[in-house]
């Protein structure tokens, strides 16, 4: 009985995660989806996850990531596009 409950809870958690990922994908520009999907599936590098997170943080604007002034953010020194590069 308890095992069934745990399994159902796990299934629900996976479903919620899948739904959340799908919702985010639908809300972001197509150009950002590949990086986000890689990161959310644990593929690619931690750099992908940072790039996806920073992009989402500033409303998917590379320029805004470059101009980020939140020096207290733990990702600040690791954020992409610091030098204005398109591929960082
Ligand atoms: S470094 Fe800047 S853009 Fe990246 S997550 Fe932190 S506050 Fe957002």
In the chain, which ranges are continuous DSSP H helix?
A: 2-27, 30-40, 46-57, 62-66
Within 10 A of 24 (CB to CB), how many other CB atoms are there? 16
Q: Check if 52 has its Cβ closer than 6 Å to any atom of ligand 1.
A: no
The predicted pLDDT at position 12 comes to: 80
Residue 76 CA to ligand 1 center (angstroms) comes to 6
Q: H/E/C letters for each residue in 12-37?
A: HHHHHHHHHHHHHHHHCCHHHHHHHH
The predicted pLDDT at position 69 comes to: 96
CB-CB contact of 28 with 37 (8 Å): no
Which residues lie below 8 Å from residue 60, measured CB to CB, with a gap of 6+?
28, 29, 32
Q: Which atom of ligand 1 is nearest to the CA of 55?
A: 3
The predicted pLDDT at position 83 comes to: 75
pTM for this predicted structure = 0.80
Residue 9 CA to ligand 1 center (angstroms) comes to 33
Q: Which residues of the chain have pLDDT under 50?
A: none
Q: Which atom of ligand 1 is nearest to the CA of 70?
A: 7
């Amino acid at each position: 009985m308890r095992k069934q409950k745990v399994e159902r809870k796990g299934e629900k958690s996976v479903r919620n995660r899948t739904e959340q990922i799908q919702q985010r994908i639908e809300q972001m520009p197509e150009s950002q989806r590949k990086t986000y999907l890689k990161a959310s599936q644990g593929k690619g590098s931690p750099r992908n996850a940072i790039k996806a997170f920073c992009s989402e943080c500033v409303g998917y604007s590379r320029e805004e990531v470059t101009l980020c002034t939140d020096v207290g953010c733990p990702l600040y020194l690791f954020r992409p596009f610091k030098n204005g590069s398109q591929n960082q």
